[in-house]
Structure 1
Amino acid sequence: MTKVYFIGAGPGDPKLITLKGHEVIKRADVIIYAGSLVNPEVIAHGKSSAAVYNSASMTLKEVLEVMKVAVEEGLIVARVHTGDPSIYGAIREQMDALEALSISYEVIPGVSSFVASAAALKKELTLPEVSQTVILTRMEGRTAVPAEESLRSLAKHQATMAIFLSVHMIEEVVAELASAYSKDTPIAVVQKASWPEEKIIIGTLENIAEKVKEAGVTKTAQILVGNFLGDQYELSKLYDEKFSHQYREGKL
């Protein structure tokens, strides 16, 4: 059935797209992908007859027109976004427009860069007695951020933070975080997580800005901050031999 599919391409590694997303791309008649942010290998398995559009140079109006014409012709459209489309994917405006046009659509989630970065670092974002909360946010740039969601405000929670779209402002990021986190708080910057050219920079709030500048990292990077990056934590009760739950009786 003709439909528009919003597909999360994952962080970069073409094997990190979901099976469902992969299958839809294989049978799509029209593929609209988010430029250099999507690994070309993700869409390489599409039909040779598929019409392929790079949305990096397109406006919202142009993207919607391609979708509208395709659906009118009874075609399947794969709208491929980087990571997971629900996080900074700008899909709401597309979905609302499709709703207004009575065009059927579906969202297929993907692996976000913040979890791909944690995997690259071999760290767990939520550790007992360290942090049980993950905050996904960004620094204010050309896109405004509500005042109550500023990094300075969110930093007061001392939670694990995943900061998107902000590495080019690393000094400002550090200044905001340092208002609540100590200078020795560990922080990591992962550029192009899961891509062959992946780059990992680890430091503290005191030295990360200098390290990032030395590495020449100015875009396509995830910033992760918090004591989950350290080595001090309590063991999980889930596998504690003294802990009882629905499937196992604890030993006294």
Structure 2
Amino acid sequence: MIKSKLFARISSVGLVILAIVLMSGDHNDAPTLTGTSADIADFYAFEAPDSDNLVLIMNLQGLIPAGAPTEFAEFDEHVLMEFNIDLNNDLKEDVLIQAIKRRDSMFFFGPFPTLETGLESTINTDIMHKVKISSKDDVHISEEDGMKFFAGPRDDSFFFDRIQFDMYMAGNANGGFTDPGIDTYAGKNTLSIVVELPKSMLGTPVANVNPFAPNTPTYNMWVETKRKIQ
């Protein structure tokens, strides 16, 4: 398997009070992955309007221009997408949610406990959910077993002033960053997969992980894409 990985950490309680949205951005991936159908752009995890639920979002194939390029962009049937959840802070996945495209639909699997870690993955077809892949103007959201699923093109919501950042790194940004800056990714799109689910379906995380909230049970989460090696 070849995989691309991003890391983030999310607390299981207290997110609404703290108004926290956790995300990781990776618009410049490794050379073997950049611009491919396995290239991860963003990972978002945040509490849903229903405080008992979490929303997980994986964006792929970033920087897709609007118009025809977005309309013709598609998920790769040979790429498996995974949300990994670590419950005991050993930085190894304990629970998985997987997704893979088949024809005009995205099939989601999980959440389910796993003993597999690292490069190897087995799709658990016992817990399967199906949603038709959306287009720009035809949005499909599937609701099953208290979960919600979406797959399709979305506006890239990651805000980053790349030009000012490059100038700053080169020592040429007089005054540092501007407020609010210029959104380098404005008008660009990604392919998104979204899962909303009850926290109770993920299992019980451990406390004493986050030094700023030691009594708060905390999940470690990351996303991966995996392509089968022939």
Normalised by the shorter chain, which TM-score bucket? under 0.3
- Which structure has the highest helix share of the two? 1
Higher relative contact order (CA 8 A, sep 6+): 2
Higher alpha-carbon Rg: 1
When the two structures are superposed, what TM-score results if normalisation uses the length of structure 2?
Answer: 0.26
- Which structure has the highest strand share of the two? 2
